[in-house]
């Protein structure tokens, strides 16, 4: 039995720079607080300690893992916290050596109580343990969580009643493999987006689905807009220059606009030569991940490190392919993308700490390729072919961020993943799926086998590849 994974599990609003190293630990802190409340333990707590393990420790500083944990323990939510509040909360903790636990109780706390342990826990590369201590220095609570990619958090051998209730048997079209999705489409004579919507309607009304998808798209659009209109350098020490601003300035020329909607119209009026299209798509992707690298608000799609691919490809459709596109097109795109991502998560991984960057940029490129193919008039089978092509040409991609920051090569990779997705869609539209040699399920299986065979140094540890050959002094 495979648990149902909603589109809204795959596309989540949060804060950068990493879904597994920032959003996941933040959510884990929230879960721990809730468990303490359920057991009526908070009143007895004097202080807390947090142990980070494996990849969370090795690249934790660059991914702001320690800050994310503290923000979660302070009672804030990554989806709704005002971005400008983040620095104030962290500064207060550092300056006062106290933590306002869940916004309700002042605890003694210093930054060195978030402990970075290089050893890996056996269950998963991204482990963290929360420990609560009493006035007598006795352990009141000790809970270990694992951030398994895309903001998903689990505990070993812990199964909730919700997981038992929400499983694939409760839905009209239970999907675990891509072949099942394809067969439903053929049998029902429906597009992928129609099948996915039928499943989502078990959990939410159509109005609720529309509202959430609009929020997701609005966040993506805002993120691109902010990134295209913000200049300077990124935080973290590498002094990486923001490039979306200057690229956008050259492309938009003298066109004027006052808001995001007028901005889309302005872009539609610009030149659409091949080179300009490449630059626009790259600009959209770069803008998102420059915002992500600055602890801005993005949509995990399926991760923060790969958050730029899907909005860039969707924006490409809106401003280049179809000037008459409306929310219904956006809705279809996001439904298809989310479902393809869920198939990868169920059968492989979307965590770079488990599978390298093929699990992030590769999956996001596949999601975008399949979604774009449906909007361009492709069949469900061709959409799955597009997803396969996109992933096939990301197999083996390593995760070796310089300085442990989600900047180099991560930001550029989003641009490359977006371009590959568009190319994969075009190739798929000219493909007879019956003659395709590699089905999507096989490439997902291959990706997972590749992930297991990959040297650990290339799985988000900053202990191999570019992270080693290009030192901070070179930057």
For residue 150, how many other CB atoms are within 10 A of its CB?
31
Cα separation, 209 vs 197, in Å, equals: 9
Question: Average pLDDT for residues 134-151, to the nearest whole number?
Answer: 95
Query: Residue 161: which pLDDT band, with cuts at 50, 70 and 90?
Result: very low
For residue 283, how many other CB atoms are within 10 A of its CB?
27
Which residue bears the tokens 């279809």?
Answer: 332
Question: Residue 470's pLDDT is what?
Answer: 87
Share of the chain above pLDDT 90, in %: 94
Whether residue 251 contacts residue 278, with contact meaning beta carbons closer than 8 Å, is answered with no
Cα separation, 111 vs 49, in Å, equals: 10
**Full DSSP string of 158-172:** ---HHHHHSBGGGSS
**Of the candidates 309, 311, 252, 308, which has an alpha carbon nearest to the alpha carbon of residue 276?**
252
**Of the candidates 138, 136, 134, 111, which has an alpha carbon nearest to the alpha carbon of residue 42?**
134
Question: Residue 3's pLDDT is what?
Answer: 73
Per-position b or e across 252-267, b if 16+ CB within 10 A of its CB: beeeeeeeeeebbebb
Cα separation, 175 vs 1, in Å, equals: 10
| pLDDT beyond 50 at 163 | no
| pLDDT beyond 70 at 292 | yes
Question: Residue 279's pLDDT is what?
Answer: 98
Query: Residue 475: which pLDDT band, with cuts at 50, 70 and 90?
Result: very low
**Of the candidates 27, 51, 59, 53, which has an alpha carbon nearest to the alpha carbon of residue 459?**
59
| pLDDT beyond 70 at 164 | no
Q: How far is CA 418 from the centre of its chain?
A: 15
Q: Is 423 helix (H, G, I), strand (E, B) or coil?
A: helix
**Of the candidates 468, 367, 466, 475, which has an alpha carbon nearest to the alpha carbon of residue 422?**
367
Instruction: Read off the pLDDT of residues 167-221 as tens digits, 9 standing for 90 and up.
Output: 556 899 999 999 999 999 999 999 999 999 999 999 999 999 999 999 999 999 9
| pLDDT beyond 50 at 162 | no
Cα separation, 132 vs 451, in Å, equals: 35
Question: Average pLDDT for residues 94-103, to the nearest whole number?
Answer: 96
Report pTM.
0.93
Question: Residue 11's pLDDT is what?
Answer: 98
**Of the candidates 175, 124, 121, 177, which has an alpha carbon nearest to the alpha carbon of residue 152?**
124
189-to-170, 274, 381 alpha-carbon distances in Å: 22, 35, 12
Query: Residue 1: which pLDDT band, with cuts at 50, 70 and 90?
Result: very low
Question: Residue 301's pLDDT is what?
Answer: 97
Cα separation, 116 vs 109, in Å, equals: 16
**Average model confidence (pLDDT) across the chain:** 94
Question: Residue 169's pLDDT is what?
Answer: 62
**Of the candidates 10, 4, 2, 3, which has an alpha carbon nearest to the alpha carbon of residue 333?**
10
**Of the candidates 414, 404, 417, 413, which has an alpha carbon nearest to the alpha carbon of residue 475?**
404
Question: Residue 158's pLDDT is what?
Answer: 62
Tokens of 99: 């933590």
Question: Residue 471's pLDDT is what?
Answer: 63
| pLDDT beyond 60 at 223 | yes
Instruction: Read off the pLDDT of residues 69-92 as tens digits, 9 standing for 90 and up.
Output: 999 999 999 999 999 999 999 999
Cα separation, 134 vs 138, in Å, equals: 5
């Amino acid at each position: 039995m495979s648990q149902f994974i909603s589109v809204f599990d795959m596309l989540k609003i949060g804060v950068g720079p990493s879904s597994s190293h920032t959003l996941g630990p933040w959510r884990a802190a929230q879960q721990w607080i809730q468990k303490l409340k359920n057991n009526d333990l908070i009143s007895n707590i004097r202080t807390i300690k947090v142990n980070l393990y494996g990849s969370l420790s090795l690249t934790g500083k660059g991914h702001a893992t320690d800050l994310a944990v503290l923000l979660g323990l302070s009672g804030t939510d990554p989806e709704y916290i005002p971005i400008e509040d983040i620095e104030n909360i962290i500064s207060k903790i550092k300056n006062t050596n106290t933590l306002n636990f869940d916004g309700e109780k002042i605890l003694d706390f210093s930054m060195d109580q978030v402990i970075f342990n290089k050893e890996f826990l056996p269950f998963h590369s991204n482990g963290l343990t929360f420990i609560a201590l009493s006035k007598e220095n006795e352990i009141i609570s000790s809970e270990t969580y694992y951030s398994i990619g895309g903001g998903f958090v689990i505990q070993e051998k812990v199964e909730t009643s919700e997981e038992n209730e929400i499983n694939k048997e409760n839905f009209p079209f239970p999907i675990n493999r891509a072949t099942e999705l394809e067969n439903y489409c053929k049998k029902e004579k429906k597009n992928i987006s129609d099948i996915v919507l039928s499943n989502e309607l078990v959990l939410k009304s159509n109005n609720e689905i529309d509202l959430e998808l609009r929020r997701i798209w609005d966040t993506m659009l805002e993120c691109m807009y902010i990134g295209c209109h913000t200049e300077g350098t990124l935080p973290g020490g590498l002094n990486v220059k923001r490039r979306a601003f200057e690229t956008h300035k050259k492309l938009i020329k003298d066109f004027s606009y006052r808001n995001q909607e007028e901005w889309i119209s302005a872009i539609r009026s610009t030149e659409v030569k091949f080179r300009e299209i490449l630059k626009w798509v790259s600009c959209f992707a770069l803008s998102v991940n420059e915002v992500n690298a600055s602890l801005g608000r993005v949509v995990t799609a399926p991760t923060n490190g790969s958050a730029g691919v899907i909005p860039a490809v969707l924006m490409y459709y809106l401003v280049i392919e179809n000037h008459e596109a409306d929310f219904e097109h956006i809705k279809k795109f996001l439904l298809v993308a989310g479902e393809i991502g869920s198939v990868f998560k169920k059968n492989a991984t979307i965590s770079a700490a488990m599978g390298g960057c093929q699990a992030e940029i590769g999956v996001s490129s596949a999601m975008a390729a399949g979604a774009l193919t449906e909007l361009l008039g492709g069949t469900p089978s061709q959409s799955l072919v597009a997803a396969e092509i996109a992933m096939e040409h990301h197999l083996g991609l390593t995760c070796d961020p310089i300085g442990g920051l989600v900047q180099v090569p991560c930001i550029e990779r989003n641009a490359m993943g977006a371009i590959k997705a568009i190319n994969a869609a075009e190739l798929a539209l000219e493909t007879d799926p019956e003659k395709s040699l590699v089905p999507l399920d096989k490439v997902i299986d291959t990706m997972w086998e590749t992930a297991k065979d990959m040297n650990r140094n290339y799985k988000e540890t900053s202990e191999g590849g570019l992270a080693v050959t290009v030192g901070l002094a070179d930057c």
